[in-house]
Structure 1
Amino acid sequence: MIFFKGFFGKKDTKASEPIPSATVSASAPANDLIEIPAFIPTDPNEYELVSVIATAIAAGDHPKSQFVVKNIMKRNPEAHLVSLISASIAAGAMPESKFVVKKISQVK
C-alpha cells in the first residue's frame, strides 16, 4: 500500500506567491478594444425562406421529420471584409499557407 501512496498520495507543496500586478499591467490597453462579432442577427423578413431551405436540406430522405429553427444568423460583412484583407496581406509573404481569423477587435 505504501507503494501506491507514493504515486497517488498528496505531497506537501508550497503554494506559489501571486505575481504582483505591476508586472501584468502590459495587458491593460486590451480593455480599449471592442470585439467585432463574426455573425449578426438576420432580418426577420428572411426567416421563412431560410427556415424552409434549411429544413428541406436537413430532412433529406425523411419527409415526415420535424425541425425547429431557433436562431438564424448571417455573416457580418465588416468582419468578413477585415478577415479577407488581413489574410490576403499575410498570404503575400507566404502564398502556400492557410490562415484562420479567430477574433477581430476594434479600438474604441
Structure 2
Amino acid sequence: MGFFKKLFGKELGSVSAALSTTTAEPQVENSPSWLNIGKFVPSDDHAKNRIISIITTAIAAGENSSSRLKVKRIQQLNPEFKLVTLIATSIAAGDAPDKKFIVKSVQRKID
C-alpha cells in the first residue's frame, strides 16, 4: 500500500506547485469548516467517579495522612476519538509496521 507514501511523500516540486496554486486562488465562501474533536470527555458515571477519586487521592496522599486533596474533574477517553485513531493508525501500520504513530488531533467536517 503506497497510499500514505504518495500522500505524505517529500517531493519538493509537487509541494511548491501545490503552494503556488493555493495562494493564487481566492477564498471560497462555502468552504467546509472543521470542528476539533476533544481527546477526553467528562465522565458522567457518579459511582465510578467516586471510586476513582478515592483511589487517586489515596495514592497521591501516600503515607502523609494529614494531607488534604480535592479532585476537581474526572475525564474519560472520547470513544469517537479512540475509534478514529485506531482506524487511522491501523491503516498506516499496513505500510510501515515497524513505525510508531501519534495522533495529535481529530477533526470533523461541518457541512
When normalised by structure 2's length, the TM-score is 0.66
CA distance in 2, matches of 1:23, 1:66: 59
Q: Helix, strand or coil for the counterpart of 1:25? A: coil
Aligned length: 86
Match of 2:98?
96
CA distance in 2, matches of 1:86, 1:44: 29
Match of 1:37?
38
| Structure 1 runs not aligned, ≥5 long | 1-20
User: Which amino acid letter does the alignment assign opposite residue 41 of structure 2?
Assistant: I
User: Which amino acid letter does the alignment assign opposite residue 97 of structure 1?
Assistant: K
CA distance in 2, matches of 1:57, 1:79: 29
Match of 2:81?
79
1:55 matched to 2:26? The reply is no
CA distance in 2, matches of 1:39, 1:24: 36
| Structure 2 runs not aligned, ≥5 long | 1-22
Post-superposition shift, 1:24? 7.3
Change in CA separation of 1:73 and 1:24 when aligned onto 2, cut-off 3 Å: farther
* Aligned-residue CA RMSD (Å): 2.3
Task: Flag the structure with larger Rg.
Answer: 1
CA distance in 2, matches of 1:96, 1:44: 38
User: Which amino acid letter does the alignment assign opposite residue 84 of structure 1?
Assistant: L
Percent identity among equivalent residues? Answer: 40
CA distance in 1, matches of 2:65, 2:82: 35
Post-superposition shift, 1:47? 2.4
